[in-house]
Chain A
């Protein structure tokens, strides 16, 4: 498909387990963002990639959260030792333009539920 693809679409896990969320951006898009959206809340910035480097990781809530991007394409967001407050929809978005100048195209999100 031509859009941003995220997997899994839904993930239920037990507290303390690790989870990995994947994002396939639109081909050729240099900029990639991860956001978190808790139920009824706004989008919370997590991390921004420009190519394979992450010039802004300021939104990652704790050292349990990490993200990487390879080949200027796929990105994975890893949450270690999940907690109940990690339950949210994790949204990935990509853009052709770096430094915030262009339209963001979002995936449908990965809904994480931590029991």
Chain B
């Protein structure tokens, strides 16, 4: 089983739609969780950290379910500029290194 698993998509949604991505992780000892965004042929950039209590940043909401070992990202009122690959990132291993999922591709259509 992969350490971090995501549905690769693509998710094709119209502008204004709400879309949700899930990510599962295998190591119950993981301590930190993040969502990164990667535009085509660009480097990844931090979108938001994920906290146990859940957190919101404008149109983006992230949640963590430790019992089921999954993380979610909800995007409301999708914009064309949200089109990108969304990477789930989890700490793991003895050194708490950052492990990336393979990403979920989102394409927002006009």
Contact = CB atoms under 8 A, between A and B. Distances in A.
A39 to B, nearest CB: 10
B46 interface: yes
Given A50-B95, A55-B95, A100-B32, A42 B101 contact: yes
Interface string A86-102: 00000100000001110
B31 interface: yes
B94 A56 contact: yes
A33 B92 CA distance: 14
Interface residues of B, number: 22
A103 B100 CA distance: 13
Given A99-B95, A100-B32, A101-B32, A43 B100 contact: yes
Interface of B: 31-32, 34, 36, 42-46, 87, 91, 93-103
